[in-house]
Amino acid sequence: MIKIFEIMKSAFVFRARNFLPFSFSLFIFEIKVNYFETIITDMNISNRLRLFQAFSRRRALLICLIFLPAFLFSLLILFSSYPQLVETFYARGLFAGIAMILSRLSAVVPFSLSEVSLYGGILLALFWARRGIRQRRIGRALLELLAGVVILLSWFYFSWGFNYLRPPISKQLHFASAAPDSLALRENFLWCVEKTNAAWQPVAKWNLQNLDQEIERGYAEVFAELNLPAISGRWPPKFLLLPQLLDYTLTSGIFGPFFHEAHLNAHLLPVEMPFVLAHEKAHGRGFARESEASFIALLVCLRSNTPAIHYSAYFSVLGRFRARYRQYADYDSLKQLIRPEIVADVEAVWKRIEKYMGPLAEFSQKSYDVYLRANQVEGGTENYSDVVDLVVGWRKSHQETIPQ
Ligand SMILES: [Zn+2]
C-alpha cells in the first residue's frame, strides 16, 4: 500500500514538474499564432502566399542544415559501433530494396544518369550562386547550396554508402584475412604467377551483352554457394559521354551510387574489361570496400565458362601481388617466371594510362584516398592491394575451391 502511494506521489511530482514548462510553451505558441493571424488577416492573398513560402523555405533549410546532418551523423556513429546492425537492417534490408528498384530503373536508360546529373548539378550550382550574387543574398545562396550538398550526402549514405560499415567479408565467409608473412606471400605470389601463366591467351574484343550475361551467371552461382545476399538488380556496363573524365583520373571503372550504375572506361583493353565489370557489379551488390569487390570479382570470373575471363581476373590480381612483393630481394628473379606475353599485356595497359599521368590524376587519387579513409576504409587507396590478404586467407581455408 505504501509502495502504491509512493508511486502515485512520484507520478504527481513528475506531472507537476512538467506541467509548468508545457503550459508556458503552449501560452507562447498561442501568442505566436494570434500574432501571426492578426498579421495575415491584414494581408492580400499574394502577400500571404509569399509569407507562407518564406516560412516553408526557412523550415526546409532548418531541416537540411540541422536535423538531417544530426540524424545522419547519429546513424553513422551507431552503425560504426554495430556492423551487424548494418548487415541485417541496411545491407540485407533497405539497401537491397533500393538497389533492386534503382538499378533496374537506371538500366533502362542507355547513357549514364550519374554523368548527366553531375553536369546538370554543376550548372545548377553556378546558376544558384550567380542568382545569389545578383540579388545580393550571397549568404542565403550559400546556405541553400550547402543544404543541397547535405541532401546529396544523405542520399549517398541511404542509397549505398552505409555499406562501408558492413562486417568484413572474411567474417561473413568465416575465414581469417591478415597480411601474410614473407614466406606465405612468396608462395601465394608464385601460385598467382603459375595460374596467370596457365590462363594466358590472346583476348579479343568483347561482345558486351554476352560478357554482362556471363558475369551475372557467375554471380548467381557464387552468391548462392556462399550464401551471400542475392540482389535481383541490373548493372549493365555503361560508358561516359566524356570518357576523358575517367582517363585523366586513372579510373578503370566507377560505380555510381546515386543511380546504381556500373561505368567502364571506354578505353579499357579487352584483357582488363571482364574483371573491372565484375568488380563494379560487386559494388552494385553492396560490397563497398575495394579489396572485397576485387575478391568477389575474382571468385565470379573464375566461375565463368570463358577462359579469357579467367585470364582477366588472374591478370588483375597478379598486378596486386607484384605490387605487394616488389619490396623483397628475390622479386626480380621471381618476376622472370611470368610469361613474356603477360608482360606485354602489362606494358599495353601501362601504355594506355601513362599518357594521362599528371597533376589531375594525382589530385584525383589523393581525393579518393581521403574519401575512402573518411568512410573508415583502412589504408585508403592501399585497400585495393588488400585483395592479396583476402586471397591468401581464402586459399588457406578453402584450398580446394579457388584454383581453377
Ligand atoms: Zn571499386
Domain boundaries, given as residue ranges, for the chain? 2-163, 168-397
Cell numbers given for 341: 606475353
**Cα 13 to averaged position of ligand 1 atoms, centre (Å):** 59
Give yes or no for residue 131 having a pLDDT over 70.
Answer: yes
Q: Ligand 1 centroid vs 305 CA: distance in angstroms?
A: 24
> Which of the two residues, 12 and 357, has the higher pLDDT score?
357
Q: What pTM does this model have? A: 0.83
CA gap 209, 198 in Å, rounded: 27
**Interval 291-337: pLDDT, tens:** 999 999 999 999 999 999 999 999 999 999 999 999 999 999 999 99
Give the CA-trace dihedral at 145, 289, 178, 272, to 10 degrees: -130
The answer on pLDDT for 86 being more than 90 is: yes
pLDDT on residue 402: 57
**238 membership: H or E segment, kind and range:** strand 237-238
**Phi, psi angle pair for 101, to nearest 5°:** -75, -50
- Secondary structure letter of residue 44 according to DSSP: -
CB-based burial, 301-340: b 16+ in 10 Å, e otherwise: bbbbebebbbbbbbbbbbbbbbebbeeeeeeeeeeeebee
Cell of residue 226, nine digits = 556462399
Residue with cell 596457365: 198
| Alpha-carbon gap, residue 312 to 318, rounded angstroms | 10
Distance 384 CA to ligand 1 centre (A): 8
Residue 209 has pLDDT above 60, yes or no: yes
Question: Is the per-residue pLDDT at 1 higher than 50?
Answer: no
pLDDT at residue 366, as a whole number: 85
Phi, psi of 230 (to 5 degrees): -85, 120
Q: 248 versus 398: which is more confidently predicted?
A: 248
Q: Packing angle between helix 182-199 and helix 307-325, nearest 10 degrees? A: 150
How far away, in angstroms, is 207 Cα from ligand 1 center? 22
How far does the centroid of ligand 1 lie from the alpha carbon of residue 294, in Å?
A: 7
Q: Is 70 exceeded by the pLDDT of residue 111?
A: yes
State the average pLDDT for the chain: 86
Band (pLDDT 50/70/90 cuts) for residue 157 is very high
Residue with cell 565458362: 305
- pLDDT at 213 > cutoff 50: yes
